[in-house]
Amino acid sequence: MIRISKKADYAIFLLCYLSRRAESTDPGGRVLMSAAELSEMTGLSHSLVANLLKDYGRAGILVSVRGQHGGYRLAQPPTETNLRTILSVIEGPLNFVGCVDHISPETDSLAKSDKATLCGLINICPSRGPLQVLHNRIISMLEALTLAELAQFSSEHGQATLTGMTTSAVGNLADDTSTGRRNETKRT
């Protein structure tokens, strides 16, 4: 089954927080937040936050500013960053089935180098066409959903506030530096 990893879930949570924070404190999006500040405000472990910030900085989704008053901010407005881009940084490219990314939509054929890595049924597979359609629809949905929409949705549904977690939020996020896992106990 298609499942987003916990790390990707935490990344979405963190980016939504950054998006809401930037919008509320500086509509121009120039506000900088350090890994330590983000860790404290979100309840995620410092090492997890630092690693996610570095990953998204390398991917160009965040801008990193060094120095005493440095930190991270969104590289572009949240309306211009989509869920596919966010997930691909952590999860890599989405491949619903192995053959979908290897098929050229223009020619409906495979490159010779790709044929060696695929199953022997590719030319007669009755599932390939429907799965290609499904793959394309999932990709379209992920590309249509923006960080701004994700942040707005999480804000409207009590997932987090700018002053920290609410009691209706996902729970107390322990400082588990190895996994960043969330505890089940609620924060007050």
Q: Mean pLDDT over residues 99-127, rounded?
A: 61
Q: Is the pLDDT at 39 greater than 60, yes or no?
A: yes
45-59, 99-113, 126-140, 174-188: which has the minimum mean pLDDT?
174-188
Contact 45, 35 (CB under 8 A): no
- Provide the percentage of residues in the chain whose pLDDT is more than 90: 44
At residue 187 the predicted structure's pLDDT band, cuts being 50, 70 and 90, is very low
Task: Answer yes or no: do 138 and 179 share one domain.
Answer: no
Q: Which residue has the higher pLDDT, 175 or 47?
A: 47
Contact 172, 34 (CB under 8 A): no
CA–CA dist 76, 153 (Å, integer): 19
Task: Answer yes or no: do 134 and 48 share one domain.
Answer: no
Task: Answer yes or no: do 91 and 58 share one domain.
Answer: no
Task: Answer yes or no: do 136 and 161 share one domain.
Answer: no
Task: Answer yes or no: do 138 and 89 share one domain.
Answer: yes
Q: Which residue has the higher pLDDT, 15 or 130?
A: 15
pLDDT score at 27:
61
CATH of the domain at 178: 1.10.10.10
Task: Answer yes or no: do 65 and 153 share one domain.
Answer: yes
Domain assignment of residue 177, given as a range:
1-81+147-188
